[in-house]
Structures are given as structure tokens and as C-alpha cells.
């Protein structure tokens, strides 16, 4: 198994939150290196990468084909009494939720921190990675008591994160959510959609967010249960470049699909798409009657209510 560890921020470019004589980048790196050592000791392949560019971090984890992604941070707040540990995962990711729950449980059982729970978020490192991913906010660097824990319990945090990862693999083999890492043999993602419809045509692998599948099921029902044809789902970076996609295409992140519904037609499909909660929609109408068309739909914002629309 391949584990990608990302200590948050970068000491020389952006040290992150600072408080009580500590810098987030330094604390996260120390914990991250300990996590790396513990995981290597039990036989996992580990890559540690600390950098300030979020796109580069995601691209590196994806190109390395990591099985799990863990980003390590320290929290901060203007309210100096705020304290505790919380772990985030991407909206709709069953694998991310499971990993977050296991790491959070190990930390609160090992370190005397306030349990702030497991939460969903659309952080770039969670939505831009192709594998179950979590972001761990170890403790509040702005709180004096938590800052003391970050120093005195550095090894305890690291051991807990490593144990959470090993717990995940003990209970989730194979990875639990085929919508996280679909392959041609992965089977059904939902009642009407199969993983093979979304994989990259050049390499047969992929990453499709579960929320996109849920919305496509809603779209199918809305147009009269007519079959949806997926023209393009996940694209690996190589295939995306070959077809002229922009480097940060939502297809590369598993957030998007280009679709047609032949039995419904362009205008009926468009009306139904506009009534649903997609984050991004792109309309490519027929240039003349009975010519090819498609509609791009994506879930780039994780359901936060933001919306981007364009027409070609």
C-alpha cells in the first residue's frame, strides 16, 4: 500500500498558523516525518511532500497512484480558548469518512485533546486527490494548552495517525467505496451506473466522486428514466492533455462527466440539468438539428452552493 503524507504549508514560503512560539509548518513536518517512519516500519510505501502549492501536491499524489492521502495541520483561531482535534474528509467519500473516523478515534484516545469530531469539507487537497483523503487538524496552535500538547505529545500524535491508517487497511480491504477509485471490474456504482462508464479510456483507472453519481441518478429520474450516455468521465492527466483539456480540468479530479441523453434530447436534458444542484454546468448545444451535442456537469465545490455556468 502507498501512503502519501502531506505536512501542511512550507517553512520558507508560508509557515501557516503561528502561535505560542510555534509555526504550523514546523510542527506538521515533525509529526509527518514520525508518521512516515512508523508506516515504513510496518511495511507501507510512503511518500512525504511538504509544499505551498495545492495543485502540485494533488498532482504528485495522483501521479504516484497513492492509496491514501493524509494532510497534517495545526488549527488556529482568534478566540484563544478554542482547542481540540478535528479530521476532515471530502463530501460524499465513504473511504475518506472511514479513514477520518479511524484517525480521529486514535488521536482522542491517545492524546488529552478535545474531540471536535469528523467533518466534511471541500478543501483542495481533499477534492483534488484521486484516493480516499483526509486533513487532520491536530490541535490549536493559538491555544496555550494545545500548543503545549503539540510539543510534548508530538510522538503521540504521530503514532495515533499511523495507527488510524493501519486500522483503515485492516477493516477496509479492498477500499470500501468503488466511487473513490473505480476500475473496469469494480461493478455497479449505483442502480444505473457502472464504474466502466467513467474510467479513463487510455488506462482503465479513474476517480469519480459519489456525489456526481447521485446527481446523475436524479437527472435520469427527472427526464423520465431515460439512459444517460457518459461521453467522458475521469481523465488521467496524460489523456486529458491529449484531448486538449486544461490542466486543472474537473475531469482530472473525478468531479465531472460530459453526458448526453439521446431519448430526451438537448433542450429537455438542459432544463433538467439546470434544476439540479450541480456546481458546474457547460452547455454544448447542437449546431444544427440532429447534430451532436453534450452537456458538462461537475461537483467541483462539494455542494457548497457555488455555481459556475458557461455555453459554447
Q: Provide the annotated active-site residues.
A: 137
For residue 103, give the nearest of 20, 31, 211 by alpha carbon: 31
DSSP string, 54-86: HHHHHHHHHHTT-SEEEEEEEE--SSTT---EE
CA distance 112 to 216: 44
Q: How many CA atoms lie within 13 A of 284 on its CB side?
A: 12
Q: How many CA atoms lie within 13 A of 78 on its CB side?
A: 0
C-beta separation of 44 from 219 below 8 A: no
Phi, psi values for residue 147, rounded to 5°: -60, -40
- Sorted by sequence, the CB contacts under 8 Å of residue 31 that are 6+ apart come out as 7, 72, 138, 154, 157, 158, 161
CA distance 49 to 5: 6
Residue 257 is placed in which grid cell? 462527466
CA distance 81 to 84: 10
Peptide bond just before 174 cis, omega within 30 deg: yes
> CA triplet 117, 25, 63: central angle to 5 degrees?
80
**CA-to-CA separations, 194 to 108, 186, 217, in angstroms, rounded:** 38, 8, 12
Amino acid at each position: 500500500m502507498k501512503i502519501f503524507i502531506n505536512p501542511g504549508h512550507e517553512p520558507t514560503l508560508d509557515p501557516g498558523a503561528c502561535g505560542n512560539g510555534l509555526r504550523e509548518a514546523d510542527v506538521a513536518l515533525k509529526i509527518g516525518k514520525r508518521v512516515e517512519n512508523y508506516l515504513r516500519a510496518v511495511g507501507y510505501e510512503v511518500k512525504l511532500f511538504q509544499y505551498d502549492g495545492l495543485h502540485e501536491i494533488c498532482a504528485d499524489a495522483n501521479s504516484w497512484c497513492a492509496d491514501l492521502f493524509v494532510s497534517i495541520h495545526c488549527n488556529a483561531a482568534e478566540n484563544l480558548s478554542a482547542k481540540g482535534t478535528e479530521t476532515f474528509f471530502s463530501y460524499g467519500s465513504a473511504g475518506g469518512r472511514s479513514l477520518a473516523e479511524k484517525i480521529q478515534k486514535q488521536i482522542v484516545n491517545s492524546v488529552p485533546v478535545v474531540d471536535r469530531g469528523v467533518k466534511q469539507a471541500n478543501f483542495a487537497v481533499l477534492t483534488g486527490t484521486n484516493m480516499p483523503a483526509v486533513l487532520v487538524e491536530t490541535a490549536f496552535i493559538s491555544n496555550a494548552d494545545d500548543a503545549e500538547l503539540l510539543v510534548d505529545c508530538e510522538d503521540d500524535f504521530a503514532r495515533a495517525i499511523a495507527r488510524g491508517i493501519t486500522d483503515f487497511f485492516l477493516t477496509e480491504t479492498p477500499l470500501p467505496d468503488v466511487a473513490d477509485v473505480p476500475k473496469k471490474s469494480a461493478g455497479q456504482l449505483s442502480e444505473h451506473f457502472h464504474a466502466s462508464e467513467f474510467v479513463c479510456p487510455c488506462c482503465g483507472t479513474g476517480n469519480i466522486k459519489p456525489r456526481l453519481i447521485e446527481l446523475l441518478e436524479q437527472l435520469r429520474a427527472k427526464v423520465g428514466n431515460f439512459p444517460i450516455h457518459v461521453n467522458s468521465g475521469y481523465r488521467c492527466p496524460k489523456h486529458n492533455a491529449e484531448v486538449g483539456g486544461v490542466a486543472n480540468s474537473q475531469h482530472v479530479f473525478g468531479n465531472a462527466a460530459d453526458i448526453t441523453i439521446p431519448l430526451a434530447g438537448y433542450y429537455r436534458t438542459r432544463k433538467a440539468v439546470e434544476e439540479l444542484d450541480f456546481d458546474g454546468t457547460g452547455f454544448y448545444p447542437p449546431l444544427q438539428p440532429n447534430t451532436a451535442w453534450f452537456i458538462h456537469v461537475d461537483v467541483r465545490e462539494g455542494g457548497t452552493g457555488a455555481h459556475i455556468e458557461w455555453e459554447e
